[in-house]
Copies of this chain bind each other. A is one copy, B any other.
Amino acid sequence: MIRIQREDFSVDAVIQALKQQGMGAIVTFTGIARGESRDGKPVRAVEWDVYETMALRAFAKIREDSIHRFGLIDAAIVHRYGRQEPGENLVLIAAASSHRQEAFDACQFMMNEIKRSAPLWKKEILDDGEERWIGE
């Protein structure tokens, strides 16, 4: 499952969608909007820009590479765009496998790859009104 969507996601629903025979372990990572920036300033909201068609293609490749590399049974990537306030969900990665080590390793790998290479950009909107694109 690969999704780029404005609305929130349900971890239970994604787990349910992944469940297949032979699975013994599902590891999920949920990224949440933080109320404080890396340099300690209060954050009012984050906003995502995304090159949707390329990001979907990047997600599909990351998902397939991970399934192959770690021997997963299935995997999911769900990323929100638009605006989120502190405490709101941003991204969900799920890795499902027979045994747990592979699922942990794959979930971390997928999130690292998304951060490294998917065309998504996060803007922090600080409490004082300053706006800045992260990572640029």
Contacts and interface: CB of A to CB of B under 8 A. Distances in A.
B98 A108 contact: no
Contact of A87 (B12, B21, B29, B111): B21
Interface class of chain A by DSSP: mixed
A30 B34 contact: no
Given A12-B10, A104-B108, A107-B104, A87 B27 contact: no
Given A28-B30, A29-B103, A34-B98, 5 more contacts: A15-B30, A21-B35, A24-B33, A26-B28, A27-B29
Interface string A24-51: 1111111111111000000000000000
A15 B31 CA distance: 11
A128 to B, nearest CB: 19
B32 A11 contact: no
Contact of A11 (B11, B33, B100, B104): B11
Contact of A34 (B22, B28, B31, B103): B22
